[in-house]
Structure 1
């Protein structure tokens, strides 16, 4: 490899190992490569601007803000109450409430961390009081949060759509079946755990309680219908849908639920901006990284190497999944998508993988990475809410990780599993 290629690969990896934040590590690797190549350093500033001026990127901070507003405005509590009236009387019912509430909240926020925080803050203490092991309670909240990247609208699919230059709407649809399959599997895990540990059932909700929960939760249920209906009805784009979601959450929180107040807004905006800044900084600096990687032909060379050494498509996809799982356990998932995106796309093209199907594979990997020890984002949120150690939650979450790998296997090797809802003649 050339000195520039070494800077972009080994140099970047070394900085990450030393503990540099990903955005800074990428920027330093680019700077070193520019100095070696005698390219004007202004290239980095230009790539930062071009990388951050994509219309679709606006969806990321907006969906994150929508999730914060929904949680503060009390809509997540409404979802939990509604799910509770439906399944709390079953074996493992309270844990199932977390899963069902996460399905709906995922269709509002599009974010795994936001879903984990919204559901876990309510249900981890409630499950512990009801007799569930606290480690399992935290692990099921983390696992349910993983539905965020899969159930549309999804921030992860927005990022991949930008990287791969694919239809974000079609990518959204490719996550529905894997997301619902994972949710169904988690319900089974909840039942098995409660049955094995003799967790007592809660009383069945009366018809009046169920009706009241539906009535009080109607505004929360309407949000995903408005957002997704608008996207697939052609009324607005995914980015515009994110803005609509924010306005909807703000109005409902202020004037309907009345749990949201004006003095709360600065802290809510600050939290969502802090998280969004991390994501957008990685994407912005990665634009220049991607240009230099393409110039050095690193992605295409690696794709040719795989094609020469791995003849079967199934084996190439298995290798990618294993590599992605190992990387996601120790590296930021968004950084993996953005930095390795050109290489991954080159490999998928080389082996003739449908680009929408490949997007579903990548985002399913990303979802698993959110919960995979040792640095999955959602794990740390679960730790903060439960007060447990990383080791304790990691031990409890392995059955759910195995379930996620089964869903990944189905998504990878059965294209119709991800493409089932795609429009005919797409």
Structure 2
């Protein structure tokens, strides 16, 4: 291999194993290649800026802001209460509340960290007070939080749509059934564990309580209908939908709920900007890294190697899933998508895999990576809320991760799970 190839593979891997943040590791490798390969230095900033100059990527900061506005405006608490009156009387009722509330909030924010933080801040303390193990509560919240990459509007699908140059609206639809299947799997685990532990059930909510919860939560429940209805009704694009979600959340928080004051807005905007800046920085530097990977023809070489060793599409998909999952366990998922996305797409095209189906498969893998130990992003969000260390949460989350892997297998080998609503 050339010196450039060594820097982009072994050099990058070494920096990551040494604990350097991914964005910095990527930047150092790009700079090292520029210095050693005699590439025009101005190419680096031009490539980094070009990587973020997509109208569709504007959806990321706006959906992040919408999630923060929803949380600050009290809509996440309203959603939790609605879910509580609907399912708390079932076996494992509090756990089912987490799953239902996360499903609804995911359809507003599109962000796994935002969903994990919003639901976790309410439900982890509440479950602990009701006698649930804190590690189990954290693991469940993290698992439910990563439904957000699959339930539209999804930031992960926005990024993949830009990389793959596919319809983001179709990609949104491809994640609905996998997301619901994953939520169903979580509910099954929750009920099974509740029956095994003989956990007492909560009393069924009476109709006046249900009616009051629905009346108070109506504005939160309408948010997904406004956002998704506008997208699929042709009223606005996914990026415009993100702006609409922000305006809606701001209006409800300030005018309707009156729990969001104007003095709180700078803090809310600042938190959304901080998270968005991290995501966009990773997208930018990963684009520069991906440019060098393409220039070195590493993608072509990998595709040729796979074509030589894997003659059937099912074996190729299995190999890609295993490789992607292992990388997602130790790398940032967005960086993986941006760096390897073009390579993976060319390989999928070579084997005749539908691009929308392939996108659903990759984003399902991304969702699992956000929860999987040792460095799943949402795992650390949940740990920050609960105050627990990695090992107890990692041990508690393994049944959920194994269930998610089963869903990934189904999505990979039964394309109807991804394409039934698209075609």
Report the TM range for the smaller structure's normalisation: over 0.9
- Distance in 1 (CA, whole Å) between partners of 2:139 and 2:365 is 18
Q: Which residue of the partner structure matches residue 13 of structure 2?
A: 13
CA offset at residue 17 of structure 1?
2.1
* Residues 327-385 of structure 1, C-alpha deviations (whole Å, 9 max, x = no match): 11111111111111122112111211110000001000000001000111111111122
- Distance in 2 (CA, whole Å) between partners of 1:402 and 1:242 is 32
Q: Which residue of the partner structure matches residue 356 of structure 2?
A: 356
CA offset at residue 290 of structure 1?
2.1
- Distance in 1 (CA, whole Å) between partners of 2:20 and 2:128 is 37
Q: List aligned pairs for 1:364-379, cutoff 5 A.
A: 364-379=364-379
Q: Which residue of the partner structure matches residue 413 of structure 1?
A: 413
Asked if 1:218 corresponds to 2:218, the answer is yes
Q: List aligned pairs for 1:394-409, cutoff 5 A.
A: 394-409=394-409
Q: Which residue of the partner structure matches residue 205 of structure 1?
A: 205
Any stretches of 5+ residues in structure 2 without a counterpart? none
- Distance in 1 (CA, whole Å) between partners of 2:49 and 2:120 is 37
Which stretch shows the higher mean deviation, 331-340 or 288-297?
288-297
Three-state SS of the structure 1 residue aligned to 2:235 is: coil
- Distance in 1 (CA, whole Å) between partners of 2:29 and 2:165 is 25
Q: List aligned pairs for 1:174-189, cutoff 5 A.
A: 174-189=174-189
CA offset at residue 261 of structure 1?
0.9
Q: Which residue of the partner structure matches residue 35 of structure 1?
A: 35
Three-state SS of the structure 2 residue aligned to 1:184 is: helix
Q: List aligned pairs for 1:195-274, cutoff 5 A.
A: 195-274=195-274
Q: Which residue of the partner structure matches residue 275 of structure 1?
A: 275
- Distance in 1 (CA, whole Å) between partners of 2:48 and 2:330 is 25
Q: Which residue of the partner structure matches residue 129 of structure 2?
A: 129
Q: Which residue of the partner structure matches residue 164 of structure 2?
A: 164
Q: Which residue of the partner structure matches residue 73 of structure 1?
A: 73
Asked if 1:54 corresponds to 2:59, the answer is no
Q: Which residue of the partner structure matches residue 107 of structure 2?
A: 107
- Distance in 2 (CA, whole Å) between partners of 1:202 and 1:151 is 28
Asked if 1:317 corresponds to 2:311, the answer is no
CA offset at residue 4 of structure 1?
1.7
* Residues 284-310 of structure 1, C-alpha deviations (whole Å, 9 max, x = no match): 122222222222111111011101011
Q: Which residue of the partner structure matches residue 392 of structure 1?
A: 392
* Residues 198-245 of structure 1, C-alpha deviations (whole Å, 9 max, x = no match): 222111111111111111111001111010011111111111100110
TM (norm. structure 2) is 0.98
- Distance in 1 (CA, whole Å) between partners of 2:377 and 2:283 is 18
Which stretch shows the higher mean deviation, 111-120 or 280-289?
280-289
* Residues 154-204 of structure 1, C-alpha deviations (whole Å, 9 max, x = no match): 000011111111111111000000000011111111111111112221111
Q: Which residue of the partner structure matches residue 97 of structure 1?
A: 97
Q: Which residue of the partner structure matches residue 155 of structure 1?
A: 155
- Distance in 1 (CA, whole Å) between partners of 2:26 and 2:386 is 34
CA offset at residue 269 of structure 1?
1.0
Q: Which residue of the partner structure matches residue 138 of structure 2?
A: 138
- Distance in 1 (CA, whole Å) between partners of 2:55 and 2:96 is 37
* Residues 100-148 of structure 1, C-alpha deviations (whole Å, 9 max, x = no match): 0111000000111111111111111111222222211111111100101
CA offset at residue 388 of structure 1?
1.6
Q: Which residue of the partner structure matches residue 339 of structure 1?
A: 339
Aligned 8 A contact 1:79 1:101 in 2: yes
CA offset at residue 258 of structure 1?
0.9
- Distance in 1 (CA, whole Å) between partners of 2:17 and 2:410 is 33
Aligned 8 A contact 1:157 1:172 in 2: yes
Q: Which residue of the partner structure matches residue 326 of structure 1?
A: 326
- Distance in 2 (CA, whole Å) between partners of 1:345 and 1:105 is 30
CA offset at residue 6 of structure 1?
1.8
